[in-house]
Structure 1
Amino acid sequence: MPVMTPPMLSESELRAAVERELPGVRADLERLVRIPGIAFDGFDHSHVQRSAEVVAELLRGCDLDVEVVRSGGQPAVIGKRAAPPGAPTVLLYAHHDVQPVGDRSLWESDPFEPVERDGRLYGRGAADDKAGIMAHVAALRAFGDRLPVGVVLFIEGEEEYGSESLERLLVEHREDLAAADVIVIADSANWDIGVPALTTSLRGIVNCFVEVRTLEHAVHSGLFGGAVPDALTTLVRLLATLHDDAGDVVVDGLVSREGASVDYPEERIRAEAGLAEGVGLIGTGRITDRLWTKPAVAVLGIDAPATDEAPNALLPTAKAKLSVRLAPGDDPKRAYAAVRAHLEKHAPWGAQVTVTLEHDGDPCVIDATGPLFDAARSAFRVAWDGTDPVDVGIGASIPFIATFQETFPQAAILVTGVEDPHARAHSPNESLHLGEFARVCLAEALLLARVAETGRKVTNP
């Protein structure tokens, strides 16, 4: 006797179901935010384990077969539910680890005690990326036992720390993950409050350290200053060679390209970035190119004496950490070699320069065409009350997307997210816009319904 597939929930039924589930979804999001699951060295990783266990509990509550897995790194969670006959399978990705909080004095409230202010939920991970997890959970709860697709949830536990064990996990659990026809990665951002987006390109990354040495030991700045170069002044001059006077990166060999002609007015970026009065933008060309498809170099930190402790001495060594964002189409290994060659070539006054790689990650470009991407845009349009989604690039890096592209070449990859330009992910006072979160949850439920319809049309034309 043939297995009967339950009738699809209508759009109005899905709206009502998501609205019904939102209070519980928010409560569970707040529960997750209270867990300081930071995968960086030097932090208590028992919290990451606890975070994984809570995620596993939430997925089991959605009638998924769940296991907590690891492969030399932090724990990830895999949950599965088989597809109805003839229906596609969707892989839903998010991550449960979070960034360190930094200087707590800059937070207006405890970063691990969620607080609502003016329609936003504040707390570390509230947006990046525990809301991504809960958007998946919201969609599953809305469907209940009438889920029209198969799902595999992969909730990573060390994305913020570089996803070092991700590739091993994908290989070891390939059998669980390879059935996916569609991959939804809920770790990006929308174009604005009230305007959804699909991310179609992301920059790559090279993080490295540069250290200069000018002396065997520190010496008196009065006795030797003026003839002997100190390491910190030397390092500052070396770092200044990475940009021209306009602020464009001038490292030979880095790829630069043009991106989408999306209008991004200067006054908007100034407001969203919190640019101080009188400070100008750097670089040339369209703002979207500077943010999405051209290389960028930032100095993340310098090892040197604190100003209130600095003696009157010339330093023998100084060290900086650089973050180099790579345009889509660039290669991280080649880019690192180019940065290292530039720094070695431009060493001031013959200083000894040592460059070491911390980590790197591939950029990616997604061809967002075809019926599954049309299904996603349709779902977004409905969830945002008729507003068309925007195809955007992202200046940030999510290197594992390239890994997913290589590992699952047959799957359509939809990069979505819950953040907006005011979310302040990775910064103090990170927050989630609760109205946008509700739209994201509805959009994902609609997306799963449309993927089911599209998959059946492809299978049974």
Structure 2
Amino acid sequence: MTPHDSSATTFGAELSSITAQLPTAELRECVASNFDATVAELVNLVAIPGIAWEAFDASQLERSAEAVAELVRSTGLDDVQILRVPHEDGGLGGPAVVARKIAAPGQPTIVLYAHHDVQPPGDKGLWDTEPFTAVERDGRLYGRGAADDKAGIMAHIASFRAITEILGDKFGLGVTFFIEGEEEAGSPTFDTFLQTHRELLAGDVIIVADSANWQVGVPALTTSLRGLVDGTVEVRVTDHAVHSGMFGGPILDAPTLLARLIATFHDDKGSVAIAGLHHGGETVVDYPEASFRSDAAVLDGVELAGEGSITSRLWTQPALSVIGMDIPSVDMSSNTLLASARAKISLRIAPGQDPAAAMAAVQAHVQAHAPFGARATFTAGEAGQPFATDTHAPAAQAAMWALGESWGVDAVETGMGGSIPFIANLKATYPNAQILVTGVEDPDSRAHSANESLHLGDFQKAIVAQAMLLAALNDGALG
């Protein structure tokens, strides 16, 4: 790993003066003394299978929200609510837990976001333990939601407890807990929820505890997220299917022409070849190829695509995947020249890219590269904004300090190849808020997969780091 850019970890005299006076040792000791109880509370949360998908028992999601609300009340907050807003179809969205501590005069308000809903367990045969029975083994806690994102909830709660215990009446920050209940279902009512409760959820800094650290023992602040556009490409050749023997030769079938069109999306080196897409700069953090191949389960002999560092290919360059096709299966095939074929594509866009412009670029590319004069159309799907943190902003600088102080090694700035669409909603609704994306996961947490787990040592450090960050913000780190 390349050392973190020293310019991003150089703090001004004012911040250095603030951090030098903070009760870091007391906060660390407080978190440690309560850590077993924190883990026990996390174990209890893991036992609740709160899944926001329609096919699952909605009462468990309600039970999950109630359990989180009770944990927030246990911190001493009385203003705790479970709130929902309606879907477009009239049904209610997932239950979100919202609680507030009002700021003292002149103090900023910090919003602590996490989500209590979890992914379905999937094939239980792939689990080494029961998905909803948390099991500690070799320093890790296994169970669905142990990392994503019930550990994020407990990091917020445990750090808030520590800061209030150590600072007492000197803790003047406003704090708002916002624990969502439908993130794993795509946050379908998130924007409506923000607009409905705009004033209730307003803050100067929003800490989103739903990401990952660089590796076990090395903390990270996620400073960029790729955005997303998707859509469907269709190629049509004839008005209807015809016999492949009688007409094959002069006519190429639609799947073949679709394949030729798909092949134009990348150049010979595997980089996305759609004109008009933004490419960001190189990244500071190195991801050794051997580690990446192991983490991504790449087969021996398969060459990696694209150019530049692996992290730039993951974080600051576009990436296009074909995620579905409509053509007959092999078992249902016949000697027919197919008239049409469709493919759904997913395009991750780099920070700085406008999603509408990216969608237009795909549209233009499809029309310009229709093979053999076939009718090629692109139907736009969903779009999500990318995100980039202003790493020189006071909150980000304070966060980098707190992470490094807690772990005892410099924190790194990392990107995320995937998207967190609701971040764009937060930024649009609160354009002046500083958004910090933190997390408790690591490369082996296996969120969304079987045997999801949490590294308990790094979990404790994450709690300490957030307590230190809150202390710094309390003492004026925002300026």
Category of TM-score, reference length = shorter chain: 0.7 to 0.9
Q: TM-score, normalized by length of structure 1? A: 0.87
CA contact (8 A) 1:63 1:81 kept: no
CA gap of 1:311–1:418, structure 2 versus 1, over 3 A, is farther
Partner of 2:71: 58
Alpha-carbon deviations, 1:2-43, whole Å to 9, x = none? xxxxxx993333223212332232233233334444445655
C-alpha displacement of 1:255: 0.8
Alpha-carbon deviations, 1:403-449, whole Å to 9, x = none? 32332233322221112122233344332222211111111112111
CA contact (8 A) 1:423 1:432 kept: yes
Q: Equivalent residues in 2 for 1:393-408 (5 A)?
A: 393-408=415-430
Task: Work out the CA distance in 2 between the residues paired with 1:136 and 1:188.
Answer: 14
Task: Work out the CA distance in 2 between the residues paired with 1:208 and 1:400.
Answer: 20
Partner of 2:89: none
Partner of 1:432: 454
2:412 is equivalent to residue 390 of structure 1: yes
SS of alignment partner, residue 118 of structure 2:
coil
Amino acid paired to 2:70: E
CA contact (8 A) 1:300 1:322 kept: yes
C-alpha displacement of 1:371: 3.7
CA gap of 1:117–1:234, structure 2 versus 1, over 3 A, is farther
Task: Work out the CA distance in 2 between the residues paired with 1:76 and 1:294.
Answer: 34
CA contact (8 A) 1:371 1:454 kept: no
Partner of 1:279: 302
C-alpha displacement of 1:46: 4.4
2:182 is equivalent to residue 158 of structure 1: yes
C-alpha displacement of 1:134: 1.5
SS of alignment partner, residue 320 of structure 2:
strand
Task: Work out the CA distance in 2 between the residues paired with 1:122 and 1:137.
Answer: 20
Q: Equivalent residues in 2 for 1:290-301 (5 A)?
A: 290-301=313-324
Partner of 1:10: 23
Pick one of 236, 261, 269 that aligns with 1:246: 269
Amino acid paired to 1:124: R
Unaligned runs of 5+ in 1: 1-7
Amino acid paired to 2:191: E
Task: Work out the CA distance in 1 between the residues paired with 2:382 and 2:248.
Answer: 37
Alpha-carbon deviations, 1:51-103, whole Å to 9, x = none? 33332222222233211222223322211122345543211111223344555
Alpha-carbon deviations, 1:196-235, whole Å to 9, x = none? 1112221111122333444555555555554544443333
Partner of 2:380: 357
CA gap of 1:210–1:32, structure 2 versus 1, over 3 A, is farther
Task: Work out the CA distance in 2 between the residues paired with 1:381 and 1:91.
Answer: 22
Q: Equivalent residues in 2 for 1:206-245 (5 A)?
A: 206-214=229-237, 225-245=248-268
Task: Work out the CA distance in 2 between the residues paired with 1:154 and 1:405.
Answer: 15
2:457 is equivalent to residue 409 of structure 1: no
Q: TM-score, normalized by length of structure 2? A: 0.84
Q: Which runs of 4+ in 1 moved over 6 A?
A: none
Pick one of 53, 66, 81 that aligns with 1:67: 81
C-alpha displacement of 1:295: 0.4
Task: Work out the CA distance in 1 between the residues paired with 2:433 and 2:76.
Answer: 24
**Mean CA deviation greater in 289-298 or 207-216:** 207-216
Partner of 2:470: 448
Partner of 1:339: 362
CA gap of 1:63–1:353, structure 2 versus 1, over 3 A, is farther
SS of alignment partner, residue 200 of structure 1:
strand
Task: Work out the CA distance in 1 between the residues paired with 2:297 and 2:248.
Answer: 39
**Mean CA deviation greater in 35-44 or 240-249:** 35-44
CA RMSD of aligned residues (A): 2.8
Task: Work out the CA distance in 1 between the residues paired with 2:248 and 2:421.
Answer: 45
SS of alignment partner, residue 164 of structure 1:
coil
CA gap of 1:198–1:299, structure 2 versus 1, over 3 A, is same
SS of alignment partner, residue 387 of structure 1:
coil
2:215 is equivalent to residue 202 of structure 1: no
2:173 is equivalent to residue 138 of structure 1: no
CA contact (8 A) 1:21 1:141 kept: no
SS of alignment partner, residue 233 of structure 2:
strand
Amino acid paired to 1:367: D
C-alpha displacement of 1:246: 0.8
Task: Work out the CA distance in 2 between the residues paired with 1:376 and 1:34.
Answer: 31
CA contact (8 A) 1:83 1:150 kept: yes
Task: Work out the CA distance in 1 between the residues paired with 2:120 and 2:360.
Answer: 30
Pick one of 42, 47, 54 that aligns with 1:29: 42
Task: Work out the CA distance in 2 between the residues paired with 1:295 and 1:387.
Answer: 31
Task: Work out the CA distance in 2 between the residues paired with 1:371 and 1:398.
Answer: 23
Identical columns (%) = 54
CA contact (8 A) 1:375 1:454 kept: no
CA contact (8 A) 1:139 1:444 kept: yes
